Copies of this chain bind each other. A is one copy, B any other.
Amino acid sequence: MEYTLEEKEGFMREALKEAEKSLAKDEIPIGCVIVKDGQIIGRGHNAREELNQAVMHAEIMAITEANAHVGNWRLLDCTLFVTIEPCVMCSGAIGLARIPKVIYGAANAKFGAAGSLYDILRDERLNHRVEVETGILEEACADVMRSFFKARREQKKLD
C-alpha cells in the first residue's frame, strides 16, 4: 500500500513517540512502527539497557509485535517506519520478515546497514529485496539522537 507524504509523516511521528520512550529511560532514542493497510500493527523502541537484551532494538521489538499481531512470521504488505537507518542485525531481520518497504528518517553513517556501511536491504544475493525511502522528518529524527548524545557527553564531563 502506498501512503501520501502527510500519512508518512504521521507514521514517522508515531515512530518518534516510540523514540521518546527510549529517551525517558536513558536509552539511545530510536523508535519504530510497522503499518499494514494504514493501521499500526507493531511498535518498538530501543530498550537494550532496561531489558538487558542485546537484540532489543526498536525494529526487533516492532517486528516481534507485528508477527504476533498477524500470527505469521511474514509481514507482507507492511511498511516499516524507523527514525534512524537500521543496523546490520535489524536490516537482516527486516529481510527475514519479508517486509517490502522501509522508510527511515535519518541515516546512521557509523552503523547503518541500509545504504551507509552496508546495503543489506537491496542486496540482490539475498532472497528478499526491500524498497528503501529516506528523509521523512529527517531533522526531527536526527535531532533526538543529537540531543541524547550531547547530554551524555555533558554528563560524562560532570561525572
Which of A's residues lie within 8 Å of B, judged by CB? 48-49, 51-57, 60, 63-64, 67-68, 71-75, 87-93, 95-98, 111, 113, 117-118, 120, 123, 125-127
* In the bound complex, CA of A34 to CA of B154 (Å): 37
A88 touches which one: B56, B57, B73, B95 (CB < 8 A)?
A: B95
In the complex, the answer to whether A73 meets B54 with C-beta atoms within 8 Å is yes
A60: nearest chain-B partner, CB-CB: B55
* In the bound complex, CA of A125 to CA of B118 (Å): 11
User: Contacts A60-B55, A73-B54, A93-B89 known; A117 to B125 CB distance under 8 Å?
Assistant: yes
Collect the chain B residues with CB atoms within 8 Å of residue A93's CB: 54-55, 89
Collect the chain B residues with CB atoms within 8 Å of residue A88's CB: 88-89, 91-92, 95, 120, 126
In the complex, the answer to whether B87 meets A73 with C-beta atoms within 8 Å is no
Collect the chain B residues with CB atoms within 8 Å of residue A57's CB: 96
Q: List 12 A-B contacts (CB under 8 A).
A: A49-B73, A52-B67, A52-B68, A53-B67, A54-B74, A54-B75, A55-B97, A87-B96, A88-B88, A88-B126, A92-B113, A117-B123
